[in-house]
Amino acid sequence: MAIIPVASSEENSVDVLFDISKELDTKYGNPEMQSDRLLAMLEEEGITYSFGQKHVPLDEIDLNVYHILVIWSPDGIYSSAEIDAIESFVFDGGTLIFAGISYFNTSSEVMDNVNELLSLFGVQIIKERVIDKTNYVGCHCGTTPIITVFAQNSYFYNIKELALSHTCYLETMDPAIVIAWGDNDAFIDSNNNEGYDSSEKKGAIPIIAQSNYGKGTVVVIPTEKTFERVSIARVDNMKFATNLFADTVSAYSQNSNPNDTSTWLPYVGGVAVVLCFIGFVYIQKSRKEK
C-alpha cells in the first residue's frame, strides 16, 4: 500500500493534522467548516496545521511528519490498519487529540469503533449526557454544564471553567487518568429525561482524560462542540485550546531540537570540568617527577 508523502524531513514537518477522512457532517464536528476561530489561534501561536484528504485512510498517510493528530467527531469507521497506524503514531511520540463525538448524530457503529480505538489508551466514551442544573450556560435544562474541577499540573493552569455542550462522560483504566470532572451538582442523565433521578450517578463525573502511551500522549474530550466556532468563545474554552495545542507543540520542540543548547550545554560543561581536573592532576604529577 502506497504511503502518501507529505514532507521529507523534520524541517518540513507540520505541527497539526486534522483528519477529515471520515467526515460527513457539515456542522459542529467538521474542522473545515467550524474551526475558523481555532485555526486563527493556531496561526497566532505560530502553530502550523493541515487537513487530511477526504476518503484517504490514515494508514496511507505518513503520520510521522506531524506532531499532533486531531480526530474530531468522525462519521465513518477506522479500519484495523488505521487503528494500528494511530497507535504507532502515539507510541512513537505523537499526540492524539480526540475532540469528541456527537451525542445526537454519532451512530452506534461509529461509537463502537471509536471506543475500540480509545481502548488502546485506557479510555471509553459512554454515550450518556452529563447535566448540571446549577452551574451551566445557555438552556436552563443544564445540557451545557460548566466544568470547574481540574487536575493539577495539566492544561488548566490559567482556567477557571469550561463550557461543554451536550457532553458525554468517560470511563478510564490504566494508563489513562482523568484531568477534568463534573462538579458535585453534575449528574449522568442515564434515562435522557433531563432531570435527576436518585439512581443516577451524581458528582465527580470524569469528563476529560489523558493517557501517556509509549513516548506519546492521548487527550480525550467527549463532546464535539468544545472547539467549534461558537463553543470555543464560551468562558475559558479558548484558553484551554491554546494551552493544549501550544504546550504540546512547545514540549515536542524542546524534546526533539538537537540545536537547543539548554539540553546539552550542562553535559558539555561537566565534561570540561572533568578534563580540567585530569589536566591539573597530570601537571602536578609531572612536577613531582621532576
CA angle 144, 147, 149 (to 5 degrees): 165
Compute the radius of gyration of the chain from its Cα atoms.
23
Higher pLDDT, 9 or 249: 249
Q: What pLDDT does residue 34 have? A: 82
In angstroms, the CA 171 to CA 130 distance is 13
Closest CA to 98 of 209, 251, 216: 209
Report the pLDDT averaged over residues 285-289. 53
256: amino acid identity, one letter: S
Closest CA to 186 of 210, 209, 159, 168: 168
Q: Indicate the SS3 state at residue 207.
A: strand
Report the pLDDT averaged over residues 173-202. 95
Q: Indicate the SS3 state at residue 218.
A: strand
Whether 24 has a pLDDT exceeding 90, the answer reads no
Whether 52 has a pLDDT exceeding 80, the answer reads yes
Residues 6+ apart with CB under 8 A from 174: 122
Q: Is residue 197 a contact partner of residue 215, using CB atoms and an 8 Å limit?
A: no
Q: What is the mean pLDDT of the chain?
A: 86
Chain centroid offset of residue 201 CA: 26
Half-sphere exposure at residue 48, Cβ-oriented, CA atoms within 13 angstroms: 10
pLDDT digits (tens, 9 = 90+) for 90-149: 999 999 999 999 999 999 999 999 999 999 999 999 999 999 999 999 988 999 999 999
Q: What pLDDT does residue 11 have? A: 52
pLDDT-based confidence at residue 26 (cuts at 50, 70, 90)? low
Q: Which segments within 58-166 are labelled E, that is strand?
A: 66-71, 95-98, 123-126, 130-131, 146-147, 149-150, 162-163
Chain centroid offset of residue 173 CA: 17
Range of weakest confidence among 144-148, 180-184, 239-243, 278-282: 278-282
Report the pLDDT averaged over residues 242-262. 75
Q: What pLDDT does residue 219 have? A: 98
Closest CA to 32 of 164, 273, 227: 227
Q: Is residue 200 a contact partner of residue 142, using CB atoms and an 8 Å limit?
A: no
pLDDT digits (tens, 9 = 90+) for 260-280: 444 434 444 444 444 545 555
Burial label for 284, CB within 10 Å (0-12, 13-18, 19+), is: exposed
Burial label for 264, CB within 10 Å (0-12, 13-18, 19+), is: exposed
Q: Is residue 157 a contact partner of residue 113, using CB atoms and an 8 Å limit?
A: no
In angstroms, the CA 211 to CA 143 distance is 27
Whether 287 has a pLDDT exceeding 60, the answer reads no
pLDDT-based confidence at residue 286 (cuts at 50, 70, 90)? low
Task: Judge if the upstream peptide bond of residue 175 is cis by omega within 30 degrees of 0.
Answer: yes
Report the pLDDT averaged over residues 223-227. 93
